[in-house]
Amino acid sequence: MDQRHVRTVFWEDHQVKLIDQRVLPHRFEIAAFDTVEGVARAIREMYVRGAPAIGATAAFGMALAARISPATTPEALLADLRRAKEVLDAARPTAVNLSWATARLLELAQALADADPDTLRQALLDEAQALADEDVEINRRMGFHGARVIPSKANLLHHCNTGRLATVDFGTALGVVYACQELGKEIHVWVDETRPRLQGARLTAWELMQAEVPMHLIADNAAGHLMRTGQVDVVIFGADRVAANGDVANKIGTYKLAVVARENGIPVYCVAPTSTVDLSLPDGDHIPIEERDATEVTHVQGTAVAPEGAPAYNPAFDVTPHRYITGIVTEEGICYPPFTESLRDAVERGRQRVAENRRRRLARLLGTEKGQT
């Protein structure tokens, strides 16, 4: 199997299949899930992680819920889908792509409430597949928008994993790196190891080495030194949720990078699809921050590094206030301050694009006039 051509999440044999990111880079394994609870567990236990990949997984989880539901009426099927949405949404709190994706599937089901259950099941699977395909297409667009702000020869500092493993394929911030590579730019990436779960050391290093992008892995604590000594041209990362004012929740440690970058006059770009923008929240203080098990801090890959019983605290994300962010790269273009306006416009264009694609798909499935949901 050519590992580079396997999507992070896909539907096969009536199951949701995921690259098991818990065991990378040492083993490449595909895990299969055939219950909604199983899909929720896969998100919670981080078989799959990264905001867009979590969204696509949840979308397939909704399609799975419809498929395994014994419902014979649209009302009963809708009730099962509402329950599935609750189970999936509860898996992780910070990445808004999760509830964005389940809401998108549920809205479609509600709009088709007069269709027979089997047509609805097919429409939901088509929608989940479309969401996954769109993710790849969106990431490529985002990557090439972002490449415009990267010099032809540059050292980038990157946090966590935002590549093909964090999305269905291609990536967000690492998508910019791949776009630069395709454009022939001379890029070198400083890869933050990203404690506690080491998404940088385990996943980003694996991806970049497979793609033959020049890189060095660094301890998280090395980032400030590299910035102060002129070895970083651009700081680049993804997002799990962007508030209406441009405040960005991303992997713990991002805030510290952005502040040190500002101190050293280095531009900071966040790369995130409009599905990661949550216009319902005025600022980052309203974003729920996931707290994960303390053993992720006291242990490294299952091995204890702290004295037994040491108390530990493990917030998984932090918020970077928008004043530290030079631009937010979306699939609709690069948003600059004032973010309240630029993000609102980008989200609106993104919504219109999704609605138009869905209208065309439904017209094919149901006949032209019913495509107008």
Binds ligand MRU (CB under 6 A): choice among 220, 240, 278, 318? 240
Stretch touching ligand MRU by CB under 6 A, among 59-67, 236-244, 340-348, 359-367: 236-244
For residue 296, the SS3 value is helix
Q: Who contacts 238 (Cβ-Cβ below 8 Å, separation ≥6)?
A: 50, 51, 160, 162, 166, 172, 173, 250, 270, 271, 272, 276
Q: In 3D, which of 221, 245, 271, 217 has the Cα closest to residue 344?
A: 245
CB of 70 to ligand MRU, least distance (A): 33
Q: Which residue is nearest to ligand MRU (CB)?
A: 238
Binds ligand MRU (CB under 6 A): choice among 57, 69, 102, 172? 172
Residue type for position 352: Q
Q: In 3D, which of 247, 258, 256 has the Cα closest to residue 287?
A: 247
Quote the tokens at residue 360: 């065309």
Q: Binding to ligand MRU by residue 167, rule CB under 6 A?
A: yes
Residues 2-61 that bind ligand MRU (CB under 6 A): 49-52
Residues 305-364 that bind ligand MRU (CB under 6 A): 316
Q: Binding to ligand MRU by residue 123, rule CB under 6 A?
A: no
Binds ligand MRU (CB under 6 A): choice among 8, 162, 274, 298? 162
Kindly determine how many residues on this chain lie close enough to bind ligand MRU according to the rule CB under 6 A: 18
Binds ligand MRU (CB under 6 A): choice among 18, 160, 177, 257? 160
Q: Who contacts 334 (Cβ-Cβ below 8 Å, separation ≥6)?
A: 145, 146, 148, 149, 327, 328
C-alpha 148 chain-centroid distance: 22
Q: Binding to ligand MRU by residue 251, rule CB under 6 A?
A: yes
Count of alpha carbons within 13 angstroms of residue 52, beta-carbon side: 35
Residues 61-100 that bind ligand MRU (CB under 6 A): 95
Report the distance separating Cα 240 and Cα 231, nearest Å: 27
Evaluate whether 148 touches 334 at the Cβ level (below 8 Å). yes
Q: Which of 240, 247, 278, 318 is catalytic?
A: 240
Report the distance separating Cα 140 and Cα 36, nearest Å: 30
Site string for ligand MRU, 186-225 (x = CB under 6 A): -------------x--------------------------
Residue (54 or 347) nearer to ligand MRU, CB: 54
192 an active-site residue? no
In angstroms, the Cα distances linking 267 to 209, 232, 247 are 25, 10, 16
Stretch touching ligand MRU by CB under 6 A, among 145-153, 161-169, 223-231, 353-361: 161-169
Residue (50 or 284) nearer to ligand MRU, CB: 50
Report the distance separating Cα 88 and Cα 90, nearest Å: 5
Enumerate binding residues for ligand MRU (CB under 6 A): 49-52, 95, 160, 162, 166-167, 172, 199, 237-240, 250-251, 316
Q: What residues are labeled active site?
A: 240
